[in-house]
Amino acid sequence: MTNFTIYEQKFKALADEKRLHIINILATKGSQCVCDLTPILEMPQSKLSYHLKILLDAELITKEQRGTWNYYSLNEQSVQSLLSSELCCVFLPSK
């Protein structure tokens, strides 16, 4: 995969309102499982899983298995490397 392909994948993943909402939730609330995200986003699990897969493939989020659940977190390093300092604050609240 070329650098252009990698960045194209990342920006395509960011070019969707639902996925931006998911990123915002992970940035503000921290690690979440699908069972937590489904009611917040008012989205069926199958559709949510589709969006999470796109974000995972673009390396914008990470997945950790805890027991029978997968927990998703923001890949802060990946997001910071893509966005300007003005946009990073939208996704990464001050600590």
pTM (predicted TM-score): 0.83
54 domain-assigned: yes
95 domain-assigned: no
93 domain-assigned: no
**What's the gap between Cα 18 and its chain centre?**
10
35 domain-assigned: yes
Question: How does pLDDT run across 59-78, given as a tens digit for each residue?
Answer: 999 999 999 999 999 998 88
Answer yes or no: are the C-beta atoms of 25 and 61 closer than 8 Å. Answer: no
Q: How many domains does the chain have?
A: 1
Cα separation, 22 vs 55, in Å, equals 9
Question: How does pLDDT run across 3-62, given as a tens digit for each residue?
Answer: 678 888 888 999 999 999 999 999 999 999 999 999 999 999 999 999 999 999 999 999
Domain of residue 19, CATH code: 1.10.10.10
74 domain-assigned: yes
Structural domain containing residue 25: 3-88
